[in-house]
Amino acid sequence: MAGPDLNEDQQQQQQLVKGVKESVQRDGFESDDGGGEGLVMTENKGKNRKRARENEKETELLQDPLVVFGSDIMLMILKNLDARRVALSLLVSRGWHGVASSDKLWSSKTNASSMELHLPESANDSVNEDALPKHKGKERVIKCEELWLGKAHIPHSSQMRGISKLAAYSFSVTDGKRTRIMKEDLCDHVWEFHFEEEAPEYWKSLDPYWKGTGPLMRRYFHPDGTQSADPGDKVWGGHECSYLIVTSFVDGGRIRKHYVRINRWPRMFVTRKQDWSWVMANHLYCYSSIPDAEKEGGTGPLFPVWTPAPSPSPSEKDGL
């Protein structure tokens, strides 16, 4: 009889141990591997929940790469992104904005005076990605230098003293999209001049562009509103020339008409090329700005040019 009674006791003990283990797991206790013996209470259920919440918050914070890697490593990561993606990272948080707006990111560690930009010889030449200038340590020179690479003109507004490299980049992009030519643009650049196919044969016979007899004719615009040419220019007759920029706007500040006129000759309409150079042309002749990206201090208007809102019409002024 002892045998069966002993087995029943053992079974009851095992069930008791099992119940204790389940209670331990439910209420926040731990046990060792001693078959339920030597149970150790670590923390109560409330503290475990608090710790779980803290762990969740810590895990959430660690999902931010800036917190995980720190600003120095994040700066290295952002250097491998293009300018658009870096600009988008400015909007993530204040911390990201502080890293993404760093001058170290938007300009080379190398002095601009010692930087070789490898500018293409003409606007039609493609830019080789491998030709981008490098730092020591083979880091890419990024952002401003990449943006200016191959451009015919560098805006003066991006070269102002005291502005950040991010501001210089922003001003450059804005100016590169500008299609409204200003007096500073005319005067700061040297212009190549040639006749179009519809021009009279007499004038084309004097034009190196059509005869292939030498460099193209050049024209110069001056701040006093006059224009001149090189000595010995066969087309230039020594006559007085003055120029005028005409711009009109429609509702919303959009440009309605924009052209340049010399004396009372046909107006020239203005276009802007992808390399930021200018073209002024009509059916008789064409002016093209000569690349001068190496010009110290940049060219064009001293400050960014914004398209102004249109003036109110007479009826609007009178409240009609």
Token reading at 189: 């650049």
The DSSP bridge pattern shows strands 243-249 and 29-30 to be unpaired
pTM: 0.62
Q: Which residue in this structure is represented by tokens 């003055």?
A: 242
Distance, in Å, from the CA atom of 309 to the CA atom of 251, rounded to the nearest integer, reads: 8
- Going edge to edge, which strands form the sheet with 268-272? 227-229, 217-221, 191-195, 285-289, 278-281, 268-272, 255-262, 243-249
H or E stretch at 138: none
- Selection from 90, 65, 241 nearest residue 166 by Cα: 90
- Selection from 229, 228, 230, 223 nearest residue 245 by Cα: 223
Q: Which residue in this structure is represented by tokens 């009609």?
A: 320
Distance, in Å, from the CA atom of 62 to the CA atom of 70, rounded to the nearest integer, reads: 11
What does each of the 320 residues of the chain score in pLDDT, given as a tens digit?
Answer: 444 455 665 565 555 445 544 544 554 444 444 544 444 445 566 667 777 777 766 665 567 778 777 888 888 888 887 777 887 888 888 888 888 888 777 765 323 333 333 333 333 333 343 433 343 333 433 467 778 889 999 999 988 888 888 888 889 989 999 999 999 999 999 999 999 999 999 999 999 999 998 899 999 999 999 999 999 898 998 788 999 999 998 887 788 899 999 999 999 999 999 999 999 999 999 999 999 999 999 999 988 876 554 444 444 444 43
